[in-house]
A and B are shown apart, each in its own frame.
Chain A
Amino acid sequence: MYFHLSPLGDHAIVIELGDDINETVHRNVQCVSHAIEQQSFEWLIEHIPAFTKVTVLYDPMKTPYVNAHESPYEIVSKQLIRLLRTVKGSKVTRSRTVEIPVCYGGEYGPDLAYVAKVNHLTEEEVVHIHSQGTYTVYMIGFAPGFPYVGGMSERIATPRKQSPRLEIPAGSVGIAGKQTGVYPIATPGGWQLIGQTPLSLFDPNSTSPTLLQAGDTIVFKPITRQAYESYKEEK
């Protein structure tokens, strides 16, 4: 497995595992994250996986003293390299599948008609294409539990809105260019909104505060407005 280390300031090391978004690099990112989680390095603060890299945050005060010539960066690098040599990338393909119920169109998906028009499709066809896909969560960023997702059909790709909405409600499912995603918290944004899920993607009081994690597979399941509302009421 290819890897390359470089420093990000005096508290972080970036492990580069490729330079392009693809399944192999993504699986390697997952394997490396998993391997780091299995370790109990005293200097480890946390790690942050992204499309092609894993960034490791460390505390230079907690690295073991080797000799006066070795910096905390060198000590941490050596320990990481030793670990990375044992990681068998690509092999592990176990991933969770998370089903996200979505009420498409209407007041929950005010831009569904626009997405259909731009792509010369009917609204039903857009919903069908969007909900037939399987999507990979490459990374989480931007907001708590916000997934950067790959796998959307280009047949429903739609440019962002010219002027962003001041507030997009939590649970909104949207399209921006070739990406699709779900908004865990209310935030401003320029995505085309095609539906909304009654699931809560971010719950700070839960032991796993975000519904989605990097490496998950997502499927979207269309639900009726009635099902959406009864789901909300149960909560």
Chain B
Amino acid sequence: MILIHKPGMLTTIQDKGRYGFQKQGIIVSGAMDQTAHRIANLLVGNSEDCATIEATIAGPKLEFEQDALISLCGGEFNPSIDGHRVKQWCPVIVRKGSVLTFGQAKNGCRCYLAVAGGIQVDVVMGSRSTYLRAGIGGKDGRGLRAGDRLPIGTPASYLQLYIDEIKNKSFISLPWSVTHAFRTKVQNNQPVRVMISHEYHLFSKKSQQAFFNEPFTISSQSDRMGYRLNGPTLPLAEEQSMLSEAVVFGTIQVPSNGEPIVLLADRQTTGGYPRIAQIASVDLPIFAQLKPGATITFHEITLEEAQRLYMDRERAIKHLTRAITLQYQSRIR
């Protein structure tokens, strides 16, 4: 079990999301930074589908009530165990009774804690992701609170060998980690690659130019559902009303006030505003790590490039999965 001492700002249980029910109006939810969530799982020998704990901006304080193999991936949070700094993006063995604290997010704003065996809350409609508004998934459909105890699944049997090595230390970081190529690191004026959408031509020429030539800032009115952007307003060439239709992760829609909203993990399934562009899947993890106040610029790429970049990254993650498995197995003869 993991015992929550302090919940932090917004700490929820997430996995890859609740797919298959959007036609019934059920939102996807899931980890905002899917890459960090998946790699956190891979580092502890889990399948990518296991649930992790997503910390936001100010992370939680929690205690391991059993020996465990963990990893911390995503934004830089300066985490420590029993007062000693602990590395991110690498597997860490923790002893029963150890207490993990997160600092404030230094780079990025979401960090994923994976535990070998996964966080074993109930599966609701095929997923363990927390859906706050409907109150389902995760821990009782809500953010974590002090006193919550979360069950951990059984780790892959070959990992027990590692976990047993902990003995008297409070934690041991294994001597290998994920290369920087996989680590989401937000830059100043973060470039974000997009494809123009079907309704792009409905926007005025001035809006189209401003969208690609001027920077935008993430507004303080931003959450897991969507980020509002401050910057130039983006009016349509002439007013239009649209019928509601499906939207997806990374859709940039523009309500009649001209202020764009980027739809994220907790977006509604459908929307009725014109869409100016769509963030390339490969850039969604970095976008989801942006804090309010961060500035971004949009850059156009083609659909073909977006799909090629996405597939290149997926292949790289497959290689990483094999490399991690080999690392673990090299110690077992």
Query: Interface residues, chain A, CB within 8 Å of chain B?
Result: 6-12, 14, 21, 33, 45-53, 55, 57, 60-61, 71-73, 139-146, 148, 184-185, 187, 202, 204-205, 209-210, 213-214
**Contact present for B23 and A48 (CB under 8 Å):** yes
Question: How far, in Å, is A47 (CB) from chain B's closest CB?
Answer: 7
The chain B residue sitting closest to A70, CB to CB, is B304
Count, A-B residue pairs, CB within 8 A: 135
Asked if B20 lies at the interface with its beta carbon under 8 angstroms from chain A, I say yes
What size tier do the contact residues of chain B reach? 35 or more
**Contact present for A12 and B314 (CB under 8 Å):** no
11 new A-B contacts, CB < 8 A, other than A8-B246, A144-B24, are: A10-B195, A10-B306, A48-B270, A140-B23, A140-B25, A140-B269, A141-B268, A143-B134, A146-B25, A184-B25, A209-B24
Question: How far, in Å, is A222 (CB) from chain B's closest CB?
Answer: 26
Asked if B9 lies at the interface with its beta carbon under 8 angstroms from chain A, I say no
The contact of A50 among B125, B197, B243, by CB within 8 Å, is: B243
A14 CA / B134 CA spacing, docked (Å): 27
A3 CA / B189 CA spacing, docked (Å): 41
The contact of A140 among B19, B24, B124, by CB within 8 Å, is: B24
**Contact present for B195 and A55 (CB under 8 Å):** no
**A213 CB contacts on chain B under 8 angstroms:** 23-24
Q: Given the known inter-chain contacts A48-B269, A61-B311, A141-B268, please indicate yes or no for A204 contacting B303, CB distance below 8 A.
A: no
A53 CA / B133 CA spacing, docked (Å): 26
| Stretch from B163-171, B172-180, B273-281 that touches the partner | B273-281
**B306 CB contacts on chain A under 8 angstroms:** 9-10
**Contact present for B23 and A46 (CB under 8 Å):** yes
The contact of B248 among A9, A73, A210, by CB within 8 Å, is: A9
Task: Give 6 CB contacts A-B under 8 Å.
Answer: A9-B197, A21-B243, A48-B269, A55-B246, A144-B21, A209-B26
Q: Rank and list the top 6 A-B pairs by shortest CB-CB distance, nearest first.
A: A141-B270, A55-B246, A9-B278, A48-B246, A50-B245, A10-B306
* Docked complex: B201-247 residues within 8 A CB-CB of A: 243-246
Query: Interface residues, chain B, CB within 8 Å of chain A?
Result: 19-26, 124-125, 133-136, 195, 197-198, 243-246, 248, 250-251, 268-270, 275, 278-281, 303-304, 306-308, 310-311, 314
**Contact present for A12 and B268 (CB under 8 Å):** no
The chain A residue sitting closest to B245, CB to CB, is A50
**Contact present for A14 and B23 (CB under 8 Å):** no
A71 CA / B243 CA spacing, docked (Å): 30
The chain A residue sitting closest to B302, CB to CB, is A71
Question: How far, in Å, is A95 (CB) from chain B's closest CB?
Answer: 15
A21 CA / B198 CA spacing, docked (Å): 19
**Contact present for B133 and A185 (CB under 8 Å):** yes
**B198 CB contacts on chain A under 8 angstroms:** 6-8, 14
Question: How far, in Å, is A35 (CB) from chain B's closest CB?
Answer: 14
The chain B residue sitting closest to A48, CB to CB, is B246
A222 CA / B101 CA spacing, docked (Å): 56
A61 CA / B26 CA spacing, docked (Å): 25
**Contact present for B22 and A46 (CB under 8 Å):** yes
**B281 CB contacts on chain A under 8 angstroms:** 9-11
**Contact present for A8 and B251 (CB under 8 Å):** yes
The contact of A214 among B19, B23, B251, B268, by CB within 8 Å, is: B23
The contact of B23 among A10, A49, A60, by CB within 8 Å, is: A49
**Contact present for A48 and B22 (CB under 8 Å):** yes
A223 CA / B16 CA spacing, docked (Å): 43
Q: Given the known inter-chain contacts A7-B195, A21-B243, please indicate yes or no for A33 contacting B23, CB distance below 8 A.
A: yes
A57 CA / B160 CA spacing, docked (Å): 39
